[in-house]
Amino acid sequence: MYKISMVSLGCPKNQVDAEMMLSSLKNGGYEIAAEEAEADAIIINTCGFIEDAKKEAIENILEAARYKKTGKCRALIVTGCLAERYRDDVTEEIPEVDVCVGIGSNGRICDIVKNAIEGKKQNCYGEKYELDLNADRILGGYPFSTYLKVADGCDNCCTYCAIPKIRGRMRSRRIEDCVAEAKILAERGVKELIVVAQDTTAYGEDIYGKSMLPELLRELCKVEGLHWIRTLYTYPDRITDELLDTVASEEKIVKYFDIPIQHVNGEILKRMNRTGDYNTLSALIDKIRAKIPDVTIRTTLITGFPGETEEQFSELARFVKEKRFERLGCFTYSAEEGTVAAEFSDQIDEQTKVDRMENIMEQQLTVAAEKNEEKIGSVTEVLIEGWDDYIKCYFGRTPADAPDVDGKIFFMADRPLVLGDFVKVQINDCIDYDLLGELI
């Protein structure tokens, strides 16, 4: 049978799509090639929601295209958000690409690949809702930590965001389907389950008429074998008392909130088609910290949104200084064609966007280092992820660290340890975003 290779880019939700396609390909008799050079077909599962992501996707596509000359590759297939968003433009503008597959056709990947290898190259775009959210997966990444995608699409329609156009309206999975998958994942050895969607706090609104995230989390806590349950991509307006109480009261739920607020100036938020302002967001952060004292709050900000004045930016910088987020990411505004904000006449120049982003991240590095200093001498639980042969110690994450976006903890141990186990570590030092410690 044919060998395939898959490269998946972008966010955890896209990674889950890739894992589903890998599973159906494996069940379809394909072999997963160890090396891209051996593959008869290479699939690049792309991200495509902002400029940088598109560049990365094109780099990976051109990189893989080399194997059509140097390797066994007879079909280069592009799936994911870039494919869904740009469709035939992908094959027209990148002739190395043989087939472009929209997200609604992921379920037909077996036939698409076979046809492409055998020379029948046809782009495929099923309806977005055809994407099966309950399909089986072959897990990438660590076998003990993975994502649970509970919905796809988004109804919030922020003016700068292309995702609703790419992924469509929000479609939630039923609670029982999510719990059933969680049980399978736990039986397969998953101990940390990370709940994701474009807006996890909106989970269930489309099929149950109200947010069902608290209910879902409580059900997931009943799944044996899961040790940590983490939620990413919550929406500030939908952080309810019920959600706070659920997170505070359930031991398995890590005290971690990922709340992209994007900005704090009321006028800017309005133009983003978001609500709130400095005071409402400040009150929200204070409320979460009052309910869950040892909580870790991560946020994401955008600098250089059209029309952003020096005063409005200073307001944002002041908020970051005052609120001292445990974790923070900041991106420059990217004018995405087809979005409302890209049509705004008062676009900001690139250098100003970058200067403002760097200003925020400089501040945040200080805050993060100070917050890490405060942890020295304390003991934390750690999920062991690996061994660093260069510095000869183990590394892992604390409950305060989400994969890929947050820091790590590096620690010495006086005995061999098992990856995927949870241990207690005394924190002795820190370097920027990372912690150093020793096993106790």
Binding region for ligand SF4 (CB under 6 A): 154, 156-158, 161, 163-164, 198-199, 235
Contacts of 408 by beta carbon, 8 Å cutoff, 6+ apart = 385, 395, 396, 397, 401, 434, 435
Helix (H) or strand (E) holding 314: helix 310-323
Length in residues, the chain: 440
**156/280 with CB nearer ligand SF4:** 156
**156/312 with CB nearer ligand SF4:** 156
- Least distance to ligand SF4, CB of residue 330, Å: 15
Half-sphere exposure of 384 toward its Cβ, with a 13 Å CA cutoff? 21
DSSP 3-state of 298: strand
**200/246 with CB nearer ligand SF4:** 200
Phi-psi region of 378 (alpha: psi -120 to 50; beta: other; left: phi over 0): beta
**9/22 with CB nearer ligand SF4:** 9
Question: Rounded to whole angstroms, what are the CA distances from 48 to 77, 128, 331, 337?
Answer: 15, 16, 15, 12
Angle separating helix axes 213-221 and 241-249, nearest 10 degrees? 10
- Least distance to ligand SF4, CB of residue 13, Å: 10
**157/419 with CB nearer ligand SF4:** 157
Answer whether 82's CB lies under 8 Å from 59's CB: no
Q: Using CA of residue 43, residue 49, residue 54, residue 55, what is the dihedral sign?
A: negative
- Least distance to ligand SF4, CB of residue 58, Å: 22
- Least distance to ligand SF4, CB of residue 239, Å: 14
**58/259 with CB nearer ligand SF4:** 259
- Least distance to ligand SF4, CB of residue 11, Å: 10
The residue assigned the tokens 């994701």 is 196
Question: How far is the C-alpha of 320 from the C-alpha of 326, rounded, in Å?
Answer: 10
Helix (H) or strand (E) holding 396: strand 393-397
**163/330 with CB nearer ligand SF4:** 163
**340/412 with CB nearer ligand SF4:** 340
- Least distance to ligand SF4, CB of residue 335, Å: 15
> What's the angle, vertex CA 115, arms to CA 114 and CA 116, rounded to 5?
90
Question: How far is the C-alpha of 68 from the C-alpha of 274, rounded, in Å?
Answer: 46
**246/339 with CB nearer ligand SF4:** 339
- Least distance to ligand SF4, CB of residue 128, Å: 14
Contacts of 406 by beta carbon, 8 Å cutoff, 6+ apart = 298, 327, 397, 400, 433
Question: Rounded to whole angstroms, what are the CA distances from 214 to 192, 207, 224, 249, 414?
Answer: 18, 15, 18, 11, 40
**158/244 with CB nearer ligand SF4:** 158
Nearest CA-CA partner of 131 in 168, 165, 164, 100:
168
- Least distance to ligand SF4, CB of residue 163, Å: 4
**170/297 with CB nearer ligand SF4:** 170
Amino acid letter, 362: E
Number of alpha helices (DSSP H) and beta strands (DSSP E) in the chain = 15, 18
- Least distance to ligand SF4, CB of residue 170, Å: 9
Helix (H) or strand (E) holding 230: strand 228-231
DSSP 3-state of 116: helix
- Least distance to ligand SF4, CB of residue 149, Å: 13
- Least distance to ligand SF4, CB of residue 256, Å: 18
